[in-house]
Structure 1
């Protein structure tokens, strides 16, 4: 992604989604660039993330807290608590489905946002919001549906490339917290990557000490991207 081939834009400062007293800015790859599907894998390698049709990287003037992280699929072994999570959810079926909107998924998405992220600006998401945030016409996306019989309990929005699998977003039944469906979804994405010979699972950004991001460090070996490239988290 050399600068003479792909244009990068910097957003205006906006409210930070993680620290209420900070502002944030992103670098965004030109959304009108041709062949974004071909740029996606190399962008993941460089720490970028997809939100809707945009590939972005946090680039804040006074903060570098957001650290790209990824799971080494070949070396990953579930911890004791993760094995218990697999056992708790042994009654679920994991269905690889085409990405896209339907009323069943949207109803679950709305319930999840209203109970888990009230007042966050997304909790009144309509059909167009669903499509705009979770999918993109150029993105190689599938939905891993977590089902108990006919009942939809969760959806792991998953992007695939030869360079890696990106865990874009997971939403699930907020009344099923004891199952640990977020953890279960990542474990299923690990298995999907293994079946397809994909070496990395990109989990977006890890923020040291942040309660919403702390879960990521439990998927070891976890790599983080530094100025020297990707290194194992200590």
Structure 2
């Protein structure tokens, strides 16, 4: 007998695992599958509600007793680079950008492995092989681009070295930086910051109002740098608000600080996918 997929997406919760950002805490995610003709609409709608994409899954932190992870985005029209960020742009002025379809290459994987070995050797991706890497890049049911950055060639016939890569979703209202990696030997170039600055410029030229950065986590050294960008908004209490003073967003960790799963799902606003 033929069975069709339900019209409304189904939401699930992962089992608790050690938090990668804050010591001594456990993380749990609320997630749903991203598939079918309505994938783009669902990705757009849930991204505006703090969700992130990983391959064909949309997820949002739903920890039992912690609300530290806050989705962050930059208002492109209001962004002004700081003096240090202007220096980052200057230090990386030798890089050339190209945007391609989501197709994984051995060159990308080699850079990815170097990045992990130097920056995240004990992280959850440390054992990822080339097939898993290809799945991360290529398994996308939405509008996605691979943005590559290469050093300017010394001569017209020389090979430009691949320096950085960002997997980027193109949303109705902005660019979502899904995952990025770069040459660890260029640590003084602050390439992570540079990729964000360049995506702000891409969005500006495309007339898109936001650049989505993923999660900002107060108290986490890994994620705290995002608060250095002006015009930053966070998704808190069911709405996007200006971050203001980052110190005002210390995570609440008592058991009553997080709504029950059923209540969280009931608050999610789903798009109307009828009519294509």
1:207 aligns with 2:226: no
C-alpha RMSD of matched pairs (Å): 1.7
Q: 2:167 aligns with which of 137, 153, 157?
A: 157
In structure 2, relative to structure 1, the CA distance for the partners of 1:18 and 1:135 (3 Å cut) is farther
CA-CA distance at 1:136 after TM superposition: 2.5
| Structure 1 residues 196-234: Cα deviation after superposition (integer angstroms, max 9, x where no partner) | 111111111111121111110111110011115111111
| d(CA) in 1 for partners of 2:45, 2:173 | 7
**Hey, which of these two has a bigger chunk of strand by percent?**
1
Q: Contact 1:42–1:163 (CA<8 Å) still a contact in 2?
A: no
Q: In the alignment, does 2:196 pair up with 1:193?
A: no
The answer on whether the counterparts of 1:114 and 1:124 sit within 8 Å (CA) in structure 2 is: no
Match of 1:59 among 51, 58, 62: 62
1:178 aligns with 2:188: yes
| 1:6 aligned counterpart, secondary structure | coil
Q: Count residues in correspondence.
A: 232
Which whole-Å CA distance do the structure 2 matches of 1:95 and 1:146 have between them? Answer: 7
Task: Select 2:51's aligned residue among 33, 48, 51.
Answer: 48
Name the structure 2 match of 1:105: 108
170-179 vs 117-126, which deviates more? Answer: 117-126
**For the residues of structure 2 that align with 1:17 and 1:155, how far apart are their CA atoms?**
22
Structure 1 residue ranges without an equivalent (≥5): none
What's 1:28 paired with? 31
How far residue 32 of structure 1 moved from its aligned partner, in angstroms, is: 5.0
In the alignment, structure 2 segments of 5+ residues that lack a partner are 1-6, 154-159, 245-276
Find the residue that maps to 2:131 and give its secondary structure: helix
- Give the distance between the partners of 1:133 and 1:8, measured in 2 at CA: 21
- Partner of residue 125 from structure 1, selected from 125, 128, 149: 128
TM-score normalised by structure 2 residue count: 0.80
1:158-208 deviations in whole A, cap 9, x for unaligned?
110112210111100111101111111111111111111111111111111
Contact 1:6/1:33, CA 8 A, preserved across alignment: no
Q: How many Å apart are 1:49 and its aligned residue?
A: 0.5
1:52-82 per-position Cα deviation (integer Å, ceiling 9, x unaligned): 2210000011010001110001111111111
Partner of 2:143: 140
Q: What TM-score do you get using the length of structure 1 for normalisation?
A: 0.93
Q: Which moved more, 1:214-223 or 1:91-100?
A: 91-100
> How many Å apart are 1:128 and its aligned residue?
1.5
1:109 deviation in Å?
0.4
1:14 alignment partner in structure 2: 17
